[in-house]
Amino acid sequence: MLYGKLSELSEKEIQFLIERGGELSSVNDIVSSILGDVRTEGDMALRKYTQHFDGTSIDAIEVPLEEIEKAYNTIDKELIEHLEIAASNIRKFHEAQIPKMMWSMQLAPGIELGQKITALASVGAYVPGGRASYPSTALMTVIPAKVAGVRNVVMCTPPGPDGKVNPLTLAAAKIAGADHVYRVGGVQAIGAMAFGTDSVMKVDKIVGPGNVYVTVAKMQIRDMAEIDFPAGPSEVLIIADESAHPAMVAADMIAQAEHDPHAISVLVTTSEKLASRVKEEVLEQAKSTTRGEIVSSSLNNAAILIADTIDQCIDISNSFAPEHLEIMTKNDDMVLGKIEHAGSIFVGSYAPVSVGDYASGTNHVLPTAGYARIHSGLNIMHFLKISSIQRISKEGLATVRDTVISLAEKEGLQAHADAIRIRFSDPG
């Protein structure tokens, strides 16, 4: 764990923290090879790599409806209710994001401009498995797509050692409204959705988080399918002052650390006392976590940094561009107003990342590794596309006739100019 005053850290140490994510390039060749096999071998490659990486053989790649129904019916009813509550909140939040689907304006007499928004035809949702099941990610990826009006939403998720998908993940897929569920994960799942196979539907866009291999796979198939953004190992940055509770801050760092050995937890604070107490709490709380080995590895990536001013904390956060940002300060609104880059922002001591991960309604599929500088977290617009519209009369065209002809001829595109002139020539 990196610990110390920002003023005493070397520029190299700070840059290493900010420029995390360099491991992506190290797996390019492996990912490319797997994708190539999936493209040429289809289902045979999916079965081969599932056996290799997941240690299980699969026959039927698509999970039948009967298996999904059985899973739903075997889950504890109280847990189903909690999934329904989370799903309802996620649905309400994303419904509030829906833009006006068509509008128009009169630019000038005879010139009416506007736009029409339509949903993508098909979307693939990747739901990780492996170390844990993530029914919450099924809700977070499938529900917004369905709210947007996507007709075909398919889901890929790794099978367990028995060749079956975790029943809780299947129940969440049913609640979310997935049209098809496939028991395949990793790079091979991304390839299957991008290229299509005999069993897996080819989609227009792939969304969802994953490990470094899944992230690189998404980046490599963009000539075949669009993606949301790179979403790899999870991370949190916490801005706190002396008003923050050390145990709460430490708990949130540990919660982030238990995701993955490559997860990153960072505290930037103006209080040396808080920093010291949080470090003690992190080390103490880590002893009792159920995912101790993962937490221990992840904390090697953690940092507790002491800044001179709150503005310095904000500057570090904006340079880091965290996936998750927590603000625990006396003047939360001031800090919030100065934040420029963050995937999802949690304001106040009672807004931990955990609540956004599951039930508040905001989306937990977010850009990592600094990509929050240029990407938004998963939202309704990821599933929509915009077409511009122009409705122009002869009168309206006349007002821009000379401009179009002049510019077209200047660019050497005579036919473009003639397409305007012919509309004002004698019809005979």
Contact 270, 309 (CB under 8 A): yes
Strands 111-119 and 384-392: antiparallel
Q: Residue 15 — very low, low, confident or very high, per pLDDT cuts 50/70/90?
A: confident
Q: pLDDT for 298-348, tens place per residue?
A: 999 999 999 999 999 999 999 999 999 999 999 999 999 999 999 999 999
- Please say if the pLDDT value at position 21 is more than 70: no
Alpha carbon distance 48, 58 (integer Å): 9
Quick one: average pLDDT of 400-419? 98
Q: pLDDT for 206-238, tens place per residue?
A: 999 988 899 999 999 999 999 999 887 889 999
Instruction: Return the SS3 of 404.
Output: helix
The pLDDT, as a whole number, for residue 151 is: 97
DSSP string computed for 1-44: -EEEEGGGS-HHHHHHHHT--GGGGGGHHHHHHHHHHHHHHTHH
The pLDDT, as a whole number, for residue 131 is: 59
Q: pLDDT for 149-159, tens place per residue?
A: 999 999 999 99
Contact 261, 294 (CB under 8 A): yes
Contact 366, 355 (CB under 8 A): no
Strands (E), 224-302: 226-227, 235-240, 264-269
User: How much is the mean pLDDT over the chain?
Assistant: 95
Q: What is the pTM of this model?
A: 0.92
Quick one: average pLDDT of 161-175? 95
Q: Of all helices (H) and strands (E), which one includes residue 325?
A: strand 324-328
Q: Which residue numbers are catalytic? A: 323-324
Quick one: average pLDDT of 246-266? 94
Quick one: average pLDDT of 30-49? 98
The pLDDT, as a whole number, for residue 20 is: 77
The pLDDT, as a whole number, for residue 344 is: 98
Q: What are the tokens at 120?
A: 């993508």
The pLDDT, as a whole number, for residue 289 is: 92
Which position has the token pair 């990486």? Answer: 53
As a whole number of Å, the end-to-end CA separation of the chain is 83
Query: CA torsion sign, 252 to 256 to 259 to 261?
Result: negative
Quick one: average pLDDT of 56-77? 96
Q: How many CB atoms lie within 10 A of CB 169?
A: 26
Residue 93's φ and ψ, nearest 5 degrees, are: -65, -45
